Amino acid sequence: MKEAYDKMNKSAKQFVDLTRELDATNYLLKSTVMDKQTAINIHIDTISKLKQELEKAKIETEWVNKKLISYSTSSYVLDHIFLKQTKRMNLRRKLTGMGTKGQGIIVFLLP
C-alpha cells in the first residue's frame, strides 16, 4: 500500500511540475504574442501613414501638373500671340515712320 501511495504521490508531484512548466510556457507564449501584436500594430500604423503621405503626394503632383499645363498654355500665348502682336506693332511703327527722324505716313491696321 505504501508503494502505491508513493507512486501516486510521485505522479501528483510530476503533474504539478508539468502544470508549472506549462503555465510558464503559456505565459512566455502570451508575452510573445503580445510583442508580435504590438509590432504588427506599429507596422499597420506606419503603412497607414505612408498611404496618407502617398495620397498627399498624388494630390500635390496633380496640382503641379495642372499648374504646369497652365504655364504651358501661358507660354504658348506669350510665344505665339504676343510675338504676333509685337511683330504687328513693329510693322506699324515702320510704316508710320515712328521712331525715325522723318515724318511717316499714318497707317491703320486692323487687329
Specify if 100 maps to a domain: no
How many angstroms separate the CA atoms of 53 and 47, rounded? Answer: 10
How many angstroms separate the CA atoms of 62 and 75, rounded? Answer: 20
Specify if 20 maps to a domain: yes
Query: Domain range for residue 71?
Result: 1-83
Residue 37 grid cell? 501584436
Specify if 96 maps to a domain: no
Contact assessment for residue 86 and residue 95, using Cβ atoms and an 8 Å cutoff: no
> Quick check: pTM over 0.75?
no
Predicted local distance difference test score (pLDDT) of residue 102: 47
Higher pLDDT, 37 or 77: 37
Residue 55 grid cell? 495620397
Specify if 59 maps to a domain: yes
Specify if 37 maps to a domain: yes
Specify if 21 maps to a domain: yes
What total number of domains does the chain contain? 1
Higher pLDDT, 103 or 50: 50
- Asked if residue 105 has pLDDT above 80, the reply is no
Specify if 101 maps to a domain: no
User: What are the φ/ψ torsions at residue 98 (nearest 5 degrees)?
Assistant: -70, 135
Summarize pLDDT for 49-86 with one digit per residue, the tens.
Answer: 999 999 999 999 999 998 888 877 777 666 666 667 77
User: What are the φ/ψ torsions at residue 52 (nearest 5 degrees)?
Assistant: -65, -45
Q: Residue 65's closest CA among 55, 54, 57, 53?
A: 57
* Percent of residues, the chain, with pLDDT higher than 70: 71
Specify if 57 maps to a domain: yes
